[in-house]
Amino acid sequence: MKYQNLQRIDMEQNELAYLSMRLSNAHIAADQISRSTQKLLAGVSSDLGKIRTINEDNFLLLHLINEHFAPTLEYHCHQDHANNSWRCFAVFDGIGGLESGELAAYLTAKIFRDIATGLTADLLHDEIDCQMRNGFSFANQEIRKLQKAKCGTTGSIVCTNGEQFKIYHIGDCRTYLFRNNNLFQLTRDQTLSETKKQHGIYPADTPEQKHDSHVLTNYIGKNIDFRLHPIESQWIPLRPGDKVLICSDGLYDMCSDLEIRQIINKGTDIEHTIKALTTQALINGGQDNVTCILVGVE
């Protein structure tokens, strides 16, 4: 991910409208919510890639983060969720064009790990929203305090109890839903490219679009106002067989949606699938750090 100095473009209301449209198009309204789900299976893979010298990505897999900026990490886990306790999964992408992007991503992962630890099963949606929003603002504040001229990270966080999930999002990490052999992108990148496309300045798939896709319009650590507001989805019901993918741009820049869908569709288990996604991104060039989390429902 690269950074260019850019006046912030406020597009939050449009983002929320976009998410609602995507959710509608994905046909994931709460028509029939299964209550028989017993397990969440989750895994993460984070790789340095072939070009970068530092892994500036970080993640949150339950209580696990990349504690020591390891160039390559893989974890997988499974949990019964009969008690409907809340869990958090997230990917944070430190901004490569800024100083100490890996520190910003690590700090943000630590903050949300602390928040996730305190999410009890009896919390209501409004209470979870409050804690997650406060987490973005606190991370923004702490990053701004660092003795660095510029430092920041993007992030996409999923909070779930195994029956439903919600996305909290800033920047250009992405969250997808794989359902019934279809892949739906549920977040829109907060980049200059997306802003220009939204306003009809140019169509997709132009040389300018490719360049502008890495110019962020928002990230954690950018806003001088400590009250940083994430883009949020609605609460989305989960069904057995669903898989939620959270990833940095090192995956989706290297792999098409078709490749990602086919790999998830063919995956025999979560561990195999996250390895296959990372491997494909490396085969296709590995030009950035590659981090992906896959959460499956059984």
Name which of 7-11, 29-33, 41-45 the model is least confident about. Answer: 7-11
Domain for residue 102, yes or no? yes
Nearest partner of 143 among 226, 201, 260, judged by Cα: 226
CA–CA–CA angle 279, 285, 290 (5° rounding): 55
Q: What is the pLDDT of residue 83?
A: 60
Q: pLDDT for 200-238, tens place per residue?
A: 776 666 666 666 777 899 999 986 666 789 999 999 999
Domain for residue 268, yes or no? yes
| β partners of residue 295 | 42, 244
Q: In whole angstroms, how far apart are CA 119 and each of 64, 131, 276?
A: 15, 9, 32
Domain for residue 124, yes or no? yes
Domain for residue 100, yes or no? yes
Indicate the pTM of the whole model: 0.87
User: Other CB atoms closer than 10 Å to residue 234's CB: what's the count?
Assistant: 15
Domain for residue 70, yes or no? yes
pLDDT band at 171 (very low <50, low <70, confident <90, very high): very high
Strand order in the sheet with 182-185: 72-80, 39-47, 290-297, 243-247, 174-179, 182-185
pLDDT band at 195 (very low <50, low <70, confident <90, very high): confident
Nearest partner of 88 among 169, 139, 160, 173, judged by Cα: 160
Domain for residue 59, yes or no? yes
Range of the domain at 176: 12-297
Q: How far apart are CA 282 and CA 289, in angstroms?
A: 9
CATH number of the domain within which 181 lies: 3.60.40.10
Q: pLDDT for 252-290, tens place per residue?
A: 999 999 999 999 999 889 999 999 999 999 999 999 999
Q: Indicate if the pLDDT at residue 34 is higher than 60.
A: no
Q: In whole angstroms, how far apart are CA 91 and each of 99, 110, 290?
A: 19, 12, 10
Q: pLDDT for 72-107, tens place per residue?
A: 999 988 776 556 789 999 999 999 766 789 999 999
| β partners of residue 236 | 165
CB neighbour class for 200 (10 Å; exposed up to 12, middle 13-18, buried from 19): exposed
Number of domains in the chain: 1
